Amino acid sequence: MIKGKRYYAHRLAWLYVYGYLPEQIVHHINHVKIDNRIGNLMEVSNYCNQQEKNINTSGKSGVYFDKRDAKWVVSHRSPGSKKRKYHGSFKTLEEACIAKDIAIEMDKNPHCELAG
């Protein structure tokens, strides 16, 4: 508890290491809710966290680990589309999740352009 308010242990671990309480969800990468090691925690959007309910072999919907390339691959289906779009491969699950979030945002606002 901080000033009489209860917090989950993983959110307090995040605060201790990074110096701020995350605005988004703190996700347990290995899905073990009592494993609050900082290396097992990742801040993700609510959408990305909800995709956990549609788990595939890698544990993420639209994100899978390619053993041959040893990278996380992202594909995404736009609303109303039957085809999946390839969005790249990434060294870490966190990078892949961010790429997926960006792809979803681009679907919501197709006129948006990202710098870089």
Contact call for residues 60 and 52 (beta carbons, < 8 A): yes
50: in domain:
no
Q: Decide if pLDDT at 3 tops 50.
A: yes
Q: Decide if pLDDT at 115 tops 50.
A: no
pLDDT, tens digit, 9 for 90 and up, residues 41-64: 988 877 666 655 555 555 667 788
Sign of CA dihedral 29, 115, 81, 91: negative
Are 88 and 61 contained in the same domain? yes
pTM of the model: 0.47
Q: Look at 30 and 69; give whichever has higher pLDDT.
A: 69
Domain count, the chain: 2
Are 62 and 99 contained in the same domain? yes
Cα 105 off chain centre by: 14
The chain-wide mean pLDDT, for the chain, equals: 80
Are 67 and 30 contained in the same domain? no
Sequence length of the chain is 116
The listed range with the strongest mean pLDDT (33-37, 52-56, 102-106) is 33-37
pLDDT, tens digit, 9 for 90 and up, residues 69-79: 889 898 877 66
